[in-house]
Amino acid sequence: MTGADRPPEAAPSGDGGPARADSLFPAAVVSGGGGDPALGAATPRGEGAAERELLGRVFLTRVLEPGDETGGRWVRERGVTEVVRRLREGGRALPGVSEKRWAGLCARAGRADPGRDLAVAGSSGARFVIPGTAEWPGQLDDLGDARPLGLWVRGGPSLRMWALRSVALVGARACTEYGAHMAATLAAGLAERGWVVVSGGAYGVDGAAHRGALGAGGATAAVLASGVDRPYPPGHTALIGRIAEQGLVVGELPPGDHPTPSRFVLRNRVIAALTRGTVVVEAAYRSGSLVTARAARRLGRHVMGVPGPATSALSAGVHELLRGDAVLVGDAAEVVELVGAMGELAPERRGPVLPTDLLEPRTRRALAALPGRGAATAAEVARGAQTTTDDATARLYELRALGYVERHGDGWKLTRQAMISIRGGRSPR
């Protein structure tokens, strides 16, 4: 959604004029109560429309679930302040929901306290980034009405600047040693090339990706399905704390909120939208990381997969992606070739160069015409190399000078050096 498509900040209600911020929230909240320095620009200080927008969006994160397209449509069509007023006042339901669901939303609205949420977030070093501000990543707008109402962010760097050069690395929680190794290696390689590694902070591939980037002294961001002040899983509390110190911890849910299965799934759309492409390292057929890959595909992002053993159930989902339109990648250079700028190409891949590869083609054919055991005459070599006897004789003398063949009476035989060189590559016949 572009700025031109956005509704007025305080859209007129169906029951009268525009709602005022001080009619929706306590006066202490509207004024910011002096403000918490940790909140920075996110602290409301009587800035009118911007203040109403911030408080309203914080309020709505308590009422609407992440990715709620019906709520997103209300915000787009009516404006944040009007939606907040209707939820505060109750009454007739907004279009698109049943009376039962509307009652549930209004009950949530009665307990929402945006001022308290901002204060709690500030005490944990978090800020609230909303659409239309300088730090908001514009690519999240590709989600349409499923766009986050805002994002809670812990960490010093600019979310918008980091998102411009970021790659998602996702995969199985119960990954194999191979999956963990590939995730860490890919993350380290991407970090060394100046790319931000984005993942979900979970066990398995996610954790390996974050550690790989941190170990390389690079940048990483964790997108959580819980409040950013409530690290999940608990076993990754130290890791997520380290990410917050060196990188970014991001989430849609307000402080203190806990994850649920549906929130994990909906979190994945943010990972996909935030990044230039998604790499799936290991995934079974029902892996949640495939949800991220499918979301990335719908959004027009690059989708990549790291292959595994054909017999591994944990790679079956990746292989299914690769049978479609995902691109196979094996290292960071191949990932950057897809998501990077024009000219950021991976090096050409080829096997080792053998001494016999440097021979002139007709000389190689003469060498290939010699038997693996025993000797052959020049005439026999000529027939095998499809040339004349004189030419074959000249090639054999050239090969003798190079140490590949030796003469035995009227015949020619491969030397030990030639056998080693040939066996190191391909068979001559």
pLDDT at 6: 40
Give the strand order in the sheet containing 166-170: 126-129, 151-154, 248-251, 220-224, 196-199, 166-170, 277-280, 302-305, 327-328
Least confident of 290-304, 311-325, 342-356, 384-398: 342-356
pTM to 2 decimal places? 0.78
pLDDT at site 273: 97
Torsion 116-117-121-126 (CA) sign: negative
List, for residues 110-153, the tens digit of each pLDDT value. Answer: 999 999 999 999 999 999 999 999 999 999 999 999 999 999 99
For 156-192, how does the pLDDT look when each residue is reduced to its tens digit (9 = 90+)?
A: 999 999 999 999 999 999 999 999 999 999 999 999 9
How far apart, in whole angstroms, are the C-alpha atoms of residue 82 and residue 11? 6
Residues 6+ apart with CB under 8 A from 405: 367, 370, 396, 399, 412, 413, 414, 415, 418
- Model confidence at 344, pLDDT cuts 50, 70, 90, reads low
